[in-house]
Chains A and B, each alone.
Chain A
Amino acid sequence: MLFLETLIGGLLAGTMYSLVAIGFVLIYKASGVFNFAQGAILLFSALLLVTLHEHGVPFVLAVLITLVALILLSILIERLVLRPLTNRSPMTLFMATLGVSYVIEGVAQGLMGANVHALDVGIEDVPVFIGDLMISQFDLIAAITAGVLVGVLALLFNKTRIGISLRAVADDTRAALSIGIHLNRIWQIVWAVAGVTGLVAGMLWGTRQGVQFSLSLVVLKALPVLIIGGFTSIGGAIVGGLIVGAGESLGEAYIGPLIGGGITPWFAYFLALAFLFYRPAGIFGERAIERV
């Protein structure tokens, strides 16, 4: 019973990791950028939302303003960072996003302060019982939210014109350019969509642990998820999140006591490493073919 509860709790917590990881995957697929700034974007959106709300802006309006801000931010990033760095190595782009994350964190905290804000989205973190299993209601709703988000994204990618162009760019950038897809516009859209997933993740994580600087460190939790699932697959991000969530809570419960506890910061990474030895590009990732 304890095992099952730990497992389910871990799986549900894992969907929260998946949410963060999906933002990464979207950007990596469309622009080949490993976006370290995702954590900063998460912090920025949650902080903006909470600050607006605290200043008396109605919640729905605050969400809309945050969305507009995220779109503006994506356009700025595309103009000022991505466009001048087109055709540079992936490592250069990664380091640039590291710089971007510093700028966003600095601006967000400079303008809105470094205090911890409580965010209340109206979901109570109380246990519910399903049969004999005790499950956190909040985790359950977070998992459902993640599911809905993935469904919406799947619709967006498969049914709309924008989504199909996105997939074309992800498949082969040069071919997409040659048939007249507006690459810069696609990048802006993808970054904005990733920003929106960041906002959703930021709201959920913010409710759980308060909106504060440590929110941007959630990005470090998402990295092992990406490794396990692969950088290029949304499905992989979900499965990876579940594996990491379950692995972490089981590891902390069963392996932790043997070696002194507090192993969550690195356990997921070792789990990811173990996976890497068998699948060097993750479970669902595309294996790169190298040509000389």
Chain B
Amino acid sequence: MSVSTQCALFSLSAAGWITRMRLQVGHWFSHGRVPYAWLVLSLVAVGVPLVSGDYWLNAILIPFLILSLAGLGLNVLTGYAGQTSLGSGGFMAVGAFATYACLIHFQLSFLLAIFLGGGVAALVGLFFGLPSAKIKGFYLMVTSLAAQFFLEWVFVKFPWFYNYSSSATISSPPITVFGWAIASPLSKYYLVLVLVSFLTWVAVNLTRSQVGRNWMAIRDMDTAAAVIGIRVHRSKILAFAISSFYLGIAGALWVFAYLGSAGVQSFSLQRSFQVLFIIIIGGLGSISGNFIGAAFISLLPLLLDFLAHTFFARMVDAGLLQNLQKVIFGSLIVWFLIKEPEGIARFISHLRGRLAVWPLRF
């Protein structure tokens, strides 16, 4: 056998191997395996407490899930219906304080209280969404700031909301759900996991239904949407209400499953920005993007902290680190808006597409 034939055979078999691998890899990353991916994801979500300590549950996983839920709420309004809002913190506060009122003043059970709290937040959101009939864009954004500042004021000024406590904070009473005491980090984690999964499932279906399609039509161009017969104002207000419902639940969980006790300053404008950053980084108009963005925003400070302590143990103090974090967050926001305006979620789906045809290019 001549050398050239050997080479040809070798390259043929190499090509065959590559093709086989390509098909396998491609199959893995194509949509055929999506149910398996879900299975793995839920196993991880349920099983993770078995390997992680209470610190991880309390300080990372629980806030991560709650922030994802808050991101989901804002994403319904901003990513799907196209109405920018800087009032997320205010609506989270409504959910938290209304849930507290239901628990303390009306002695309701926790699940009922939290959904009622979400409902109250939805009503408040609906009210502040009313101007969206006449007002658009930045002008509407300023309306949401009015909501933010007004709600912050309300929950400081009227002691009824925090049960006349001298510190103006609300503290979580003992919670039971269907007779189970929710006290340990593990039970809190599962409570949050169940609620967030359920609400995410609802949101996925909502965005794929007529309602969600109407929102997206309005987002892309509301005049055109009105022309094809969508009731623009009704859809916008619905988006405000549903978004606030999700934010309200997230706010309630933030107090009752994460912090344990909090005042209105936990829901300041900074919180609104944080939720906005989650959806920009994760992906506007994407459900998985909220989780990715929230994971990113919860893990980045840890990573920075770790790097600072390992490499510059004595050179970086806490204040500098905080400023560094701000600079990095800010630059990332700008970078994402320039390079990947649809966020990490889009980046990942892109990557999946590329892997599916690897090593060919498209």
Task: Using CB atoms and an 8 Å cutoff, list the residues of chain A in contact with chain B.
Answer: 34, 80-81, 84-85, 88, 90-92, 94-96, 98-107, 109-110, 114, 220, 223-224, 226-227, 231, 259-260, 262-263, 265-266, 269-270, 272-273, 276-277, 280-281, 290-292
For the complex formed, measure the closest distance between the CB of A102 and the CB atoms of chain B, giving whole angstroms: 3
The CA-CA distance from A84 to B341 in the complex, in Å, is 12
Q: Which residues of B contact A101 (CB under 8 A)?
A: 330
Complex A-B: 21 CB contacts under 8 Å: A81-B334, A88-B341, A90-B137, A91-B84, A91-B137, A96-B337, A98-B333, A99-B333, A102-B326, A102-B329, A109-B323, A109-B326, A110-B327, A223-B142, A260-B157, A260-B158, A262-B156, A263-B153, A265-B149, A269-B149, A292-B227
Q: Which residues of A contact B326 (CB under 8 A)?
A: 102-103, 105-106, 109
Interface size class for chain B? Answer: 35 or more
Known A273-B131, A292-B221: A110·B320 in contact at CB below 8 Å = yes
The CA-CA distance from A259 to B156 in the complex, in Å, is 13
The answer to the question of B361 belonging to the interface, with a C-beta cut-off of 8 Å to chain A, is: no
Q: Which residues of B contact A290 (CB under 8 A)?
A: 223
Contact (Cβ within 8 A) A292 B138: no
The CA-CA distance from A34 to B158 in the complex, in Å, is 35
Contact (Cβ within 8 A) A227 B331: no
For the complex formed, measure the closest distance between the CB of B172 and the CB atoms of chain A, giving whole angstroms: 27
Q: Which residues of A contact B314 (CB under 8 A)?
A: none
Known A91-B84, A266-B149, A292-B221: A106·B325 in contact at CB below 8 Å = yes
Contact (Cβ within 8 A) A96 B334: yes
Q: Which residues of A contact B134 (CB under 8 A)?
A: 276-277, 280
Contact (Cβ within 8 A) B142 A266: no
Picked from B137, B141, B152, B337, the residue with its CB within 8 Å of the CB of A92 is B337
The CA-CA distance from A48 to B325 in the complex, in Å, is 21
Contact (Cβ within 8 A) B131 A107: no
The answer to the question of B112 belonging to the interface, with a C-beta cut-off of 8 Å to chain A, is: no
Contact with A along B130-143 (1 / 0, CB 8 A): 01001111110111
The CA-CA distance from A65 to B269 in the complex, in Å, is 33
